[in-house]
């Protein structure tokens, strides 16, 4: 069995963003040389997500509106977590609902997606360097 590991780094200039990282994951898969196996992609931070959905800007705005309705950033005083001196209580909650990781099958050297599936990095507390782990195992 072969194994491959890489960290993808991001420094999002805004507090929140959704970034399609499918091309980077495909590049990792090419580098790995693995043709049959599994890819794990996970955010390495508790205020960011990795998830799979459609690359459609209206949907991304819908996500942002929905997450802000569930866990608005302000007032920051509404979150007990922010009593630690942080201001990212909302980002922890947004990360929880959008998820930590995805697993994608590798078949014949390609990501074995369903229709319209793409992999996204969801940033909820940006403006600093953060990482995503890509781990690929297989033959």
| 88, 95, 123, 136: residue in contact with Zn ion (rule CB under 5 A) | 88
Cα gap 95→50, rounded to integer Å: 9
For the chain, the distance separating the N- and C-terminal CA atoms, rounded to the nearest angstrom, is 5
Site map (CB under 5 A) of Zn ion, residues 32-71, x = contact:
----------------------------------------
Q: How far is CA 103 from CA 5, 28, 50, 54, in A?
A: 14, 14, 10, 16
Q: Which is nearer to Zn ion, 41 or 48 (CB)?
A: 48
34, 101 contact by CB (below 8 A): no
If the CB atoms of residues 22 and 88 are measured against Zn ion, the closer one turns out to be 88
Residue 85: count of CB within 10 angstroms of its CB: 5
Q: Tell me the pairing of strands 118-123 and 2-11.
A: unpaired
Among 26, 64, 68, 86, binds Zn ion (CB under 5 A): 86
Instruction: Pick between residue 89 and residue 138 the one whose CB is nearest to Zn ion.
Output: 89
Residue 87 within binding range of Zn ion, rule CB under 5 A:
no
State the number of binding residues for Zn ion (CB under 5 A).
Answer: 2
- Residues at the contact surface with Zn ion, assessed by CB under 5 A: 86, 88
């Amino acid at each position: 069995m072969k194994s491959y590991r890489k960290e993808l780094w991001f420094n999002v200039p805004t507090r929140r963003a959704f970034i399609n990282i499918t091309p980077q994951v495909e590049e990792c898969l090419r580098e790995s040389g693995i043709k049959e196996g599994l890819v794990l992609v996970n955010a390495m931070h508790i205020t960011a997500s990795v998830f799979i959905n459609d690359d459609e800007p209206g949907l991304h705005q819908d996500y942002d509106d929905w997450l802000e309705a569930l866990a608005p950033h302000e007032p920051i005083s509404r979150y007990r977590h922010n009593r630690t001196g942080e201001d990212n209580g909302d980002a922890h909650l947004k990360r929880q609902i959008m998820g930590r990781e995805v697993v994608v099958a590798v078949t014949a050297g390609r990501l074995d997606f369903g229709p319209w599936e793409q992999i996204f990095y969801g940033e909820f507390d940006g403006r600093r360097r953060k990482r995503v782990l890509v781990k690929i195992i297989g033959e």
